[in-house]
Amino acid sequence: MKVLVPVKRVLDYNVKPRVKADGTGVDLANVKMSMNPFDEIAVEEAIRLKAAGVTEIVVVSIGEQKSQETLRTALAMGADRAILIVSEDKVEPLGVAKLLQAIVAEEKPDLIILGKQAIDDDNNQTGQMLAGLMGVGQATFASKVELTADSVTVTREVDGGSETETLKLPAIITVDLRLNEPRYASLPNIMKAKSKPMAQKTPADYGVDIAPRLTTLKVVEPAKRSAGIKVADVDELVAKLKAMGVAK
Protein backbone atom coordinates (compact mmCIF):
# COMPACT_ATOMS: atom_id res chain seq x y z
CA MET A 1 0.00 0.00 0.00
CA LYS A 2 1.37 3.40 -1.00
CA VAL A 3 0.93 6.62 0.99
CA LEU A 4 1.54 10.14 -0.30
CA VAL A 5 2.42 12.83 2.26
CA PRO A 6 2.54 16.45 1.08
CA VAL A 7 4.69 18.69 3.32
CA LYS A 8 5.32 22.43 3.46
CA ARG A 9 8.30 24.52 4.53
CA VAL A 10 7.17 27.29 6.88
CA LEU A 11 8.49 29.74 9.45
CA ASP A 12 9.51 27.69 12.50
CA TYR A 13 6.67 27.66 15.01
CA ASN A 14 8.90 28.98 17.80
CA VAL A 15 9.83 32.11 15.85
CA LYS A 16 7.69 35.17 16.37
CA PRO A 17 6.52 36.39 12.96
CA ARG A 18 7.51 39.98 12.15
CA VAL A 19 5.40 41.97 9.75
CA LYS A 20 7.49 43.78 7.14
CA ALA A 21 7.49 47.55 7.47
CA ASP A 22 6.20 48.00 3.91
CA GLY A 23 3.11 45.92 4.67
CA THR A 24 3.76 43.32 1.97
CA GLY A 25 3.94 40.31 4.26
CA VAL A 26 5.87 38.60 7.01
CA ASP A 27 9.67 38.82 6.99
CA LEU A 28 11.13 35.43 6.09
CA ALA A 29 14.72 36.59 5.46
CA ASN A 30 17.32 34.97 7.73
CA VAL A 31 14.82 33.27 10.02
CA LYS A 32 14.60 29.60 10.95
CA MET A 33 12.33 27.60 8.66
CA SER A 34 11.00 24.13 9.45
CA MET A 35 8.51 21.56 8.32
CA ASN A 36 4.95 22.63 9.13
CA PRO A 37 4.29 20.91 12.51
CA PHE A 38 1.05 19.32 11.31
CA ASP A 39 2.89 17.86 8.32
CA GLU A 40 5.45 16.29 10.66
CA ILE A 41 2.58 14.52 12.36
CA ALA A 42 1.36 13.36 8.92
CA VAL A 43 4.79 11.93 8.06
CA GLU A 44 4.97 10.20 11.45
CA GLU A 45 1.53 8.65 10.97
CA ALA A 46 2.47 7.32 7.54
CA ILE A 47 5.57 5.70 9.06
CA ARG A 48 3.53 4.13 11.86
CA LEU A 49 1.08 2.76 9.30
CA LYS A 50 3.90 0.61 7.90
CA ALA A 51 2.84 -1.78 10.65
CA ALA A 52 -0.65 -1.83 9.10
CA GLY A 53 0.38 -2.66 5.54
CA VAL A 54 1.95 0.52 4.16
CA THR A 55 4.91 -0.42 1.95
CA GLU A 56 5.97 2.90 0.42
CA ILE A 57 5.83 6.52 1.60
CA VAL A 58 6.28 9.25 -1.00
CA VAL A 59 6.68 12.79 0.31
CA VAL A 60 6.06 15.79 -1.89
CA SER A 61 6.58 19.49 -1.46
CA ILE A 62 5.64 22.44 -3.63
CA GLY A 63 7.74 25.53 -3.06
CA GLU A 64 11.15 27.09 -3.36
CA GLN A 65 14.37 25.09 -3.87
CA LYS A 66 15.06 25.15 -0.16
CA SER A 67 12.04 22.91 0.38
CA GLN A 68 14.57 20.16 -0.39
CA GLU A 69 15.65 20.47 3.26
CA THR A 70 12.08 19.84 4.40
CA LEU A 71 11.83 16.79 2.18
CA ARG A 72 15.21 15.49 3.48
CA THR A 73 13.84 15.80 7.01
CA ALA A 74 10.84 13.67 6.02
CA LEU A 75 13.16 11.13 4.37
CA ALA A 76 15.30 11.04 7.53
CA MET A 77 12.19 10.37 9.59
CA GLY A 78 11.44 7.33 7.43
CA ALA A 79 9.80 8.30 4.14
CA ASP A 80 11.10 6.36 1.11
CA ARG A 81 11.37 8.94 -1.67
CA ALA A 82 10.56 12.55 -2.43
CA ILE A 83 9.19 14.76 -5.18
CA LEU A 84 9.86 18.50 -5.22
CA ILE A 85 7.83 20.74 -7.47
CA VAL A 86 9.85 23.92 -7.60
CA SER A 87 7.97 27.19 -7.62
CA GLU A 88 9.64 30.33 -6.35
CA ASP A 89 6.24 32.04 -6.48
CA LYS A 90 3.72 31.33 -3.79
CA VAL A 91 1.16 28.68 -4.78
CA GLU A 92 -2.31 28.92 -3.23
CA PRO A 93 -4.07 25.86 -1.76
CA LEU A 94 -6.22 25.48 -4.89
CA GLY A 95 -3.08 25.38 -7.06
CA VAL A 96 -1.36 23.00 -4.64
CA ALA A 97 -4.41 20.72 -4.69
CA LYS A 98 -4.35 20.66 -8.51
CA LEU A 99 -0.64 19.81 -8.59
CA LEU A 100 -1.20 17.09 -6.00
CA GLN A 101 -4.07 15.73 -8.09
CA ALA A 102 -1.65 15.44 -11.01
CA ILE A 103 0.88 13.62 -8.82
CA VAL A 104 -1.83 11.31 -7.54
CA ALA A 105 -2.72 10.44 -11.14
CA GLU A 106 0.90 9.31 -11.67
CA GLU A 107 1.65 7.74 -8.31
CA LYS A 108 -1.78 6.23 -7.55
CA PRO A 109 -1.43 6.23 -3.76
CA ASP A 110 -4.03 4.44 -1.64
CA LEU A 111 -3.94 7.09 1.03
CA ILE A 112 -2.92 10.74 1.19
CA ILE A 113 -2.09 12.11 4.63
CA LEU A 114 -1.40 15.79 5.22
CA GLY A 115 -1.47 18.43 7.93
CA LYS A 116 -4.84 20.06 8.64
CA GLN A 117 -3.32 23.46 7.94
CA ALA A 118 -0.02 25.22 7.47
CA ILE A 119 0.86 27.56 10.30
CA ASP A 120 1.83 30.40 7.95
CA ASP A 121 -1.32 31.14 5.95
CA ASP A 122 -3.65 29.16 8.25
CA ASN A 123 -5.91 28.34 5.30
CA ASN A 124 -6.96 24.80 6.26
CA GLN A 125 -8.01 23.99 2.68
CA THR A 126 -5.57 21.84 0.73
CA GLY A 127 -6.68 18.37 1.87
CA GLN A 128 -10.37 19.08 1.46
CA MET A 129 -9.77 20.64 -1.98
CA LEU A 130 -7.73 17.65 -3.15
CA ALA A 131 -10.48 15.29 -1.92
CA GLY A 132 -13.06 17.36 -3.81
CA LEU A 133 -11.03 17.35 -7.01
CA MET A 134 -10.48 13.58 -6.75
CA GLY A 135 -14.05 12.84 -5.68
CA VAL A 136 -12.86 10.70 -2.77
CA GLY A 137 -13.58 10.66 0.96
CA GLN A 138 -11.94 13.09 3.37
CA ALA A 139 -11.38 12.82 7.10
CA THR A 140 -10.18 16.13 8.48
CA PHE A 141 -8.65 16.84 11.94
CA ALA A 142 -7.72 13.20 12.57
CA SER A 143 -6.82 12.09 16.09
CA LYS A 144 -6.84 8.32 15.39
CA VAL A 145 -6.36 6.30 12.19
CA GLU A 146 -7.16 2.61 11.68
CA LEU A 147 -6.22 1.23 8.29
CA THR A 148 -7.55 -1.94 6.66
CA ALA A 149 -6.99 -3.31 3.15
CA ASP A 150 -9.81 -1.33 1.52
CA SER A 151 -10.94 1.29 4.02
CA VAL A 152 -9.74 3.59 6.75
CA THR A 153 -11.58 4.50 9.93
CA VAL A 154 -10.70 7.88 11.34
CA THR A 155 -11.59 9.59 14.59
CA ARG A 156 -11.80 13.33 14.06
CA GLU A 157 -11.59 16.20 16.50
CA VAL A 158 -14.75 18.23 16.11
CA ASP A 159 -16.19 21.13 18.12
CA GLY A 160 -17.18 19.76 21.49
CA GLY A 161 -15.81 16.24 21.10
CA SER A 162 -14.91 13.66 18.50
CA GLU A 163 -16.54 11.93 15.54
CA THR A 164 -15.65 8.72 13.73
CA GLU A 165 -16.00 8.07 10.00
CA THR A 166 -15.08 5.26 7.67
CA LEU A 167 -13.77 6.10 4.20
CA LYS A 168 -13.26 3.90 1.18
CA LEU A 169 -9.73 3.94 -0.23
CA PRO A 170 -8.25 5.93 -1.80
CA ALA A 171 -8.93 8.64 0.74
CA ILE A 172 -7.56 11.85 2.20
CA ILE A 173 -6.73 12.34 5.86
CA THR A 174 -5.76 15.68 7.37
CA VAL A 175 -4.16 15.35 10.78
CA ASP A 176 -4.60 17.26 13.99
CA LEU A 177 -2.14 17.85 16.79
CA ARG A 178 -2.97 14.93 19.01
CA LEU A 179 -2.68 12.10 16.50
CA ASN A 180 0.90 11.27 17.49
CA GLU A 181 4.26 12.63 18.66
CA PRO A 182 6.58 12.89 15.66
CA ARG A 183 9.99 11.24 16.07
CA TYR A 184 13.30 13.01 15.79
CA ALA A 185 15.46 11.73 12.97
CA SER A 186 18.58 9.96 14.23
CA LEU A 187 22.00 10.87 12.85
CA PRO A 188 22.41 7.58 10.92
CA ASN A 189 18.98 8.11 9.38
CA ILE A 190 19.84 11.69 8.44
CA MET A 191 22.94 10.33 6.65
CA LYS A 192 20.91 7.59 4.96
CA ALA A 193 18.29 10.13 3.83
CA LYS A 194 20.90 11.89 1.71
CA SER A 195 20.97 8.98 -0.70
CA LYS A 196 17.21 8.48 -0.94
CA PRO A 197 15.75 9.53 -4.31
CA MET A 198 14.36 13.04 -4.79
CA ALA A 199 12.77 13.97 -8.11
CA GLN A 200 12.59 17.60 -9.20
CA LYS A 201 9.72 18.91 -11.27
CA THR A 202 8.09 22.19 -12.17
CA PRO A 203 4.39 23.10 -12.27
CA ALA A 204 4.70 23.27 -16.07
CA ASP A 205 5.58 19.54 -16.14
CA TYR A 206 2.04 18.85 -14.98
CA GLY A 207 0.31 21.44 -17.18
CA VAL A 208 -1.56 22.83 -14.22
CA ASP A 209 -2.68 26.45 -14.01
CA ILE A 210 -1.52 27.79 -10.65
CA ALA A 211 -2.06 31.49 -11.27
CA PRO A 212 -3.16 33.00 -7.95
CA ARG A 213 -6.76 34.03 -7.50
CA LEU A 214 -6.18 36.17 -4.45
CA THR A 215 -4.17 39.36 -4.22
CA THR A 216 -2.77 40.33 -0.84
CA LEU A 217 -3.30 44.09 -0.66
CA LYS A 218 -1.53 44.53 2.66
CA VAL A 219 -0.37 42.76 5.76
CA VAL A 220 -0.40 44.58 9.08
CA GLU A 221 0.23 43.75 12.70
CA PRO A 222 -2.89 43.16 14.71
CA ALA A 223 -4.02 45.92 17.05
CA LYS A 224 -1.73 45.71 20.04
CA ARG A 225 -3.07 45.13 23.49
CA SER A 226 -1.58 47.44 26.01
CA ALA A 227 -0.76 46.06 29.40
CA GLY A 228 -3.35 47.05 31.95
CA ILE A 229 -2.86 47.49 35.64
CA LYS A 230 -1.78 45.23 38.45
CA VAL A 231 -4.31 44.99 41.24
CA ALA A 232 -3.03 44.85 44.79
CA ASP A 233 -5.21 42.07 46.14
CA VAL A 234 -8.25 39.88 45.57
CA ASP A 235 -10.62 42.53 46.93
CA GLU A 236 -9.54 45.02 44.30
CA LEU A 237 -9.97 42.37 41.58
CA VAL A 238 -13.45 41.53 42.88
CA ALA A 239 -14.31 45.25 42.78
CA LYS A 240 -13.13 45.43 39.13
CA LEU A 241 -15.19 42.37 38.22
CA LYS A 242 -18.24 43.88 39.89
CA ALA A 243 -17.73 47.17 38.07
CA MET A 244 -17.68 45.22 34.78
CA GLY A 245 -20.90 43.47 35.72
CA VAL A 246 -19.22 40.06 35.73
CA ALA A 247 -19.80 39.49 39.42
CA LYS A 248 -22.58 40.68 41.67
Give the CA-trace dihedral at 122, 124, 125, 131, to 10 degrees: 150
In order of 135, 138, 161, the CA distances from 156 in angstroms are 20, 11, 9
Among 130, 142, 175, 193, which residue sits at the site for another protein (rule: CB under 8 A)? Answer: 130
Question: What angle is formed at CA 27 by the lines to CA 120 and CA 65, rounded to 5 degrees?
Answer: 70
Q: How many residues make contact with another protein (CB under 8 A)?
A: 80
Separation CA 175–CA 139 (nearest Å): 8
**Contact (Cβ atoms closer than 8 angstroms) between residue 129 and residue 114:** no
Q: Report, in Å, the least distance between residue 55 CB and another protein.
A: 23
Q: Which stretch binds another protein (CB under 8 A): 46-54, 68-76, 103-111, 208-216?
A: 208-216
Q: For residues 115 and 42, is the Cβ–Cβ distance under 8 A?
A: yes
- Is 73 or 126 the residue whose CB approaches another protein more closely? 126
Q: How far is the CB of 177 from another protein (least distance, A)?
A: 5
129 lies in the binding site for another protein (CB under 8 A)? yes
28 lies in the binding site for another protein (CB under 8 A): no
CA distance 89 to 86: 9
> Rule CB under 8 A: which of 214-243 touch another protein?
214-222, 225, 227-231, 233-235, 237-238, 240-241
- For another protein, which is the closer residue by CB, 187 or 209? 209
Sites for another protein among residues 155-174 (CB under 8 A): 156-168, 171
- Contact call for residue 122 and another protein (CB under 8 A): yes
Pairing label, strands 9-11, 111-115: unpaired
